[in-house]
């Protein structure tokens, strides 16, 4: 039965995607152009758009495609003579490095590794393409990383012949956006090798990126920037005396520069609100970058950058009606009360389908992204976050009160309205059991509750009391009665709603989150703890690149405290029933700690 329903759901996820019937202008301006790279002579710019590599005159105009669909190509890089362009494409699954004539022609594959390979530059003589990759050059080390979920963290620079061949490791250290200067020295962006969102804004910590200078003749590395926020995308000035890069030290990502003599940084561009991305330069010092979806150019000695208008004349059959199986592209789902249907997110849109239905209905239809769907208790309302207004806000789609049909996937009229709009980003909405209030996250950490009848909003928990490590790592759930409990209107943790007897087993190996959980368990008075003392290691750590295959270590970066100021680290948790597992008894197949826990549980149940 389960297999049959799964198959039905897969069939139901065949979606009809309809394009606009309005006739577009003949050559509309293209926006959301990414990874611009200006040619060495400053005459043309290569960029990525709609999964293809294009080139356009540096003054703007009609762009020409270098690659074709349906594979995704990014990160174009010019050869020093401007005759070739290297780029990354997922033609064979993961990104590999390819090379093509700048004017178009036959494309050659240069790398064949299972890791993502992405070009950063050419060597000064143009004979090799330098690319970043998480390969470590040792199959055993690769396998070790995969076991610990660390594959993809250690981006080191490699070089491969532009004619093809076996790659060589350029540096043993991690390095991103590496570029050569006129004298052969190298600028690069360090990679702290942490699990972090690449596009996160306003990141300030010891794990942010900095710009470094490397001299191949002396093997000397020198840090150029020391800002505790983000510094990225280093490039050289025309004479090699200065470094330009992107920094958030002024609030938003903008272009900055400084001399290599450790002079004070100077801001070059002053774009507001949106970050500047993908900085590149020509041999004469002309800069090119992307901002707010468009390409921009800053000529040498010019006071202000100019916006480049790019047009695309290529037609696309994707603008017509098509059927697409998105079963493998579902990223989130929510189950309606009673399990009669589900809402799910695929390709940034929300859909609804019934378990026993072959019909899938599209709930949202926007150019923006939607996420975090949640049903009301009666199943007649659906709340979610949407980026349709430019920032993330909370929206609701509901059925008419008089309709007898109570399924979103049925042919029933639906009404959408904005519930909460704010200049901040709002996520993870959740109805209370009566459907009169919603809880949501403001800027990912501040917990708020909105009264849907009065429109008033209150802060249930301040943002500085919560830490979000990754986007979407916090979820909300109301207590069953929707009332305050232990001072909290909304709870994220099972501890605040678990009412049945329980016993917690712990031992000396309960470290990291294995020691954090027992501390909270004991502070909440949920139940008794049986076993050994915990070592008290409640810290967040980052992995340091392996010194050799199979050898790695971790460095603590963040400590945690309870509301009373107690640090998790070095706080041993004394069990209520102290039991050591005698190795002799374990060898006989016994588990004294488990036996003691069962005995204690039976006493609670009397």
Q: Is the pLDDT of residue 124 over 90?
A: yes
Backbone φ and ψ of 414, nearest 5°: -120, 145
Q: Write the DSSP symbol of residue 338.
A: G
pLDDT score of 319: 60
Reported pTM: 0.63
- How many Cβ atoms are within 10 Å of 568's Cβ, its own excluded? 21
Are 358 and 472 in the same domain?
yes
- Provide the CATH number for the domain around residue 409: 2.130.10.10
- Can you say whether residue 604 is alpha, beta or left, with left for phi > 0 and alpha for psi between -120 and 50 degrees? alpha
Backbone angles phi, psi at 6, to 5 degrees: -60, -40
* pLDDT at residue 289 greater than cutoff 60: yes
Give DSSP secondary structure letters for 302-319: -SS-EEEPEE-----GGG
Domain for residue 487, yes or no? yes
Cα 399–447–427 angle (5° rounding)? Answer: 50
Question: What residues contact 277, with CB distance under 8 A and at least 6 apart?
Answer: 34, 233, 246, 253, 289, 290, 291
- State the pLDDT at residue 153: 62
What CATH number should be reported for the domain holding residue 516?
3.90.226.10
Please give the pLDDT value at position 491. Answer: 43
Rounded to an integer, what distance in angstroms lies between the CA atom of residue 180 and that of residue 187?
Answer: 6
- Nearest-10 Cα torsion for 68, 71, 75, 78: -30
- Asked whether residue 40 is domain-assigned, the answer is yes
Total domains in the fold of the chain: 3
The better pLDDT of the pair 290, 586 is held by 290
Looking at the fold, whether 431 and 524 belong to one and the same domain comes out as: no
| Residue 336 and residue 406 in one domain | yes
Considering the domain architecture, whether residues 488 and 509 belong to the same structural domain is answered as no
- Residue 168 is part of which domain span? 29-311
Q: Among residues 466, 493, 520, which one ends one of the domains?
A: 493
Identify whether 18 is part of a domain.
Answer: no
Pick from 363-367, 443-447, 508-512: least confident: 508-512
How many whole angstroms separate alpha carbon 606 and alpha carbon 498?
19
pLDDT in the model for residue 15: 41
- Do 489 and 520 belong together in one domain? no
Q: Are residues 386 and 478 in the same domain?
A: yes
| pLDDT tens by residue, 219-238 | 999 999 988 889 999 999 99
Least confident piece of the model among 48-52, 70-74, 97-101, 468-472: 468-472
Residues 262, 346 within the same domain:
no
- Average pLDDT score, the chain: 84
Backbone angles phi, psi at 180, to 5 degrees: -90, 145
Least confident segment among 124-133, 422-431, 584-593: 584-593
Residue 124 structure tokens: 């000064």
521 SS3 class: helix
On whether residue 4 sits in a domain, the answer given is no
Q: Is the pLDDT of residue 494 over 50?
A: no
- Specify the residue for token string 């250690």: 154
pLDDT-based confidence at residue 489 (cuts at 50, 70, 90): very low
Q: Which CATH number do you get for residue 195?
A: 2.120.10.60
Co-location of 413 and 380 in the same domain: yes
217 in the same domain as 246? yes
Taking residues 417-446, what's their average pLDDT?
92
Residue (of 198, 241, 246, 199) closest to 225 by Cα position: 246
Of the segments 289-293, 376-380, 572-576, which one has the largest average pLDDT value?
289-293
Contact of 43 with 58, CB cutoff 8 Å: yes
Phi and psi torsions of 112, nearest 5°: -140, 25
Question: What is the rounded CA–CA span in Å between residue 238 and residue 41?
Answer: 12
**pLDDT-wise least confident of 439-443, 461-465, 466-470:** 466-470
Last residue of one domain, picked from the residues 253, 286, 311? 311
Cα 186 to Cα 130: distance, rounded to the nearest angstrom: 12
Q: β-strands 186-189, 551-559: how paired?
A: unpaired
Mean pLDDT score, 583-597: 84
Q: Which of 493, 512, 543 is the last residue of a domain?
A: 493
Indicate whether 19 belongs to any domain: no
Task: Please check whether residues 187 and 73 belong to one and the same domain.
Answer: yes
CA distance 297 to 289: 7
Q: Is 156 exposed, middle or buried (0-12, 13-18, 19+ CB in 10 A)?
A: buried
Buried/exposed 464-473: b ≥16 CB within 10 Å, e otherwise: eeeeeeeeee
Count Cβ atoms within 10 A of the Cβ of residue 483 and give its class: 0-12 exposed, 13-18 middle, 19 or more buried: exposed
Residue 23 inside a domain? The answer is: no
Same domain, 142 and 286: yes
What pLDDT band is residue 493 in, cutting at 50, 70 and 90? very low
Domain match, 478 and 347 both = yes
- Strand 44-49 to 34-38 pairing: antiparallel
Check pLDDT > 70 for residue 320.
no
Residue-level pLDDT at 194: 65
Rounded percentage of the chain residues whose pLDDT exceeds 90: 51
Residue 467 lies in a domain: yes
- Whether residue 484 has pLDDT greater than 50: no
User: What's the N-to-C CA distance of the chain in angstroms?
Assistant: 40
CB atoms within 10 A of CB 531: 26
Q: Is residue 9 part of a domain?
A: no
Question: What CA–CA distance (Å, rounded) separates 265 from 351?
Answer: 49
Q: Is 537 helix (H, G, I), strand (E, B) or coil?
A: coil
Task: Extract the tokens encoding 142.
Answer: 């690769």
Using CA atoms, how far apart are residues 235 and 222, in angstroms rounded to an integer?
A: 15
Are 199 and 276 in contact by the 8 Å Cβ rule? The answer is no
């Amino acid at each position: 039965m389960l297999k049959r329903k799964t198959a039905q759901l897969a069939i139901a996820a065949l979606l009809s995607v309809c394009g606009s019937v309005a006739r577009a202008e003949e050559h509309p301006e293209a926006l959301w152009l990414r990874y611009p790279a200006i040619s060495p002579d400053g005459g043309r710019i290569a960029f990525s758009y709609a999964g293809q590599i294009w080139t356009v005159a540096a003054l703007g105009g009609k762009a020409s495609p270098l690659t074709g669909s349906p594979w995704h190509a990014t990160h174009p890089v010019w050869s020093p003579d401007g005759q070739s362009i290297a780029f990354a494409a997922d033609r064979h699954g993961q990104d590999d490095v390819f090379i093509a004539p700048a004017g178009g022609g036959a494309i050659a594959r240069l790398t064949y590794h299972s890791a993502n390979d992405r070009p950063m530059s050419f060597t000064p003589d143009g004979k090799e393409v330098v690319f970043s990759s998480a390969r470590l050059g040792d199959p055993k080390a690769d396998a070790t990383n995969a076991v610990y979920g660390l594959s993809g963290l250690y981006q080191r620079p490699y070089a491969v012949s532009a004619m093809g061949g076996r790659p060589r490791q350029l540096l043993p250290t991690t390095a991103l956006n590496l570029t050569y200067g006129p004298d052969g020295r190298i600028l690069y962006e360090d990679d702290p090798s942490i699990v972090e969102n690449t596009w996160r804004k306003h990141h300030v910590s010891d794990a942010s990126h900095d710009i470094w200078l490397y001299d191949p003749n002396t093997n000397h590395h020198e840090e150029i920037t020391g800002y505790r926020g983000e510094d990225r995308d280093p490039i050289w000035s025309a004479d090699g005396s200065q470094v330009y890069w992107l920094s958030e030290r002024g609030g938003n990502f903008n272009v900055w520069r400084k001399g290599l003599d450790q002079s004070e940084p100077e801001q070059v561009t002053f774009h507001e609100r949106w970050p500047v991305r993908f900085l590149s330069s020509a041999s004469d010092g002309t800069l090119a970058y992307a901002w707010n979806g468009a390409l921009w150019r800053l000529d040498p000695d010019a006071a202000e950058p100019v916006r480049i208008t790019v047009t695309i004349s290529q037609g696309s059959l994707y603008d017509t009606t098509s059927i697409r199986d998105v079963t493998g592209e579902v990223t989130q789902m929510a189950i309606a009360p009673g399990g009669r249907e589900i809402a799910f997110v695929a390709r940034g849109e929300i859909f609804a389908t019934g378990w026993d239905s072959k019909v899938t209905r599209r709930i949202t239809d926007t150019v923006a992204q939607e996420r975090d769907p949640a049903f009301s208790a009666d199943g007649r309302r659906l709340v979610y976050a949407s980026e349709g207004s430019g920032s993330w806000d909370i929206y609701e789609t509901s059925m008419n009160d008089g309709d007898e049909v109570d399924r979103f996937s049925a042919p029933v009229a639906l009404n959408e309205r904005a519930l909460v709009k704010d200049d901040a980003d709002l996520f993870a909405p959740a109805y209370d059991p009566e459907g009169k209030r919603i809880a949501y996250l403001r800027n990912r950490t501040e917990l708020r509750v909105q009264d849907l009848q009065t429109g008033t909003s209150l802060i249930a928990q301040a943002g500085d009391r919560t830490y979000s490590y990754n986007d979407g790592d916090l979820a909300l759930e109301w207590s069953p009665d929707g009332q305050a409990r232990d001072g909290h209107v909304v709870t994220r943790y099972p501890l605040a709603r678990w009412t049945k007897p329980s016993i917690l087993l712990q031992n000396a190996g309960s470290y990291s989150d294995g020691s954090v959980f027992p501390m909270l368990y004991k502070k909440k008075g949920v139940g008794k703890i049986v076993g050994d003392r915990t070592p008290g290691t409640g810290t967040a750590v980052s992995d340091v690149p392996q010194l050799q295959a199979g050898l790695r270590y971790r460095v603590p970066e963040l400590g945690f405290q309870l509301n009373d100021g107690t640090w998790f680290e070095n706080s041993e948790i004394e069990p209520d029933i102290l039991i050591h597992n005698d190795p002799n008894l374990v060898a006989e197949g016994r588990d004294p700690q488990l036996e003691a826990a069962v005995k204690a549980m039976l006493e609670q149940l009397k």
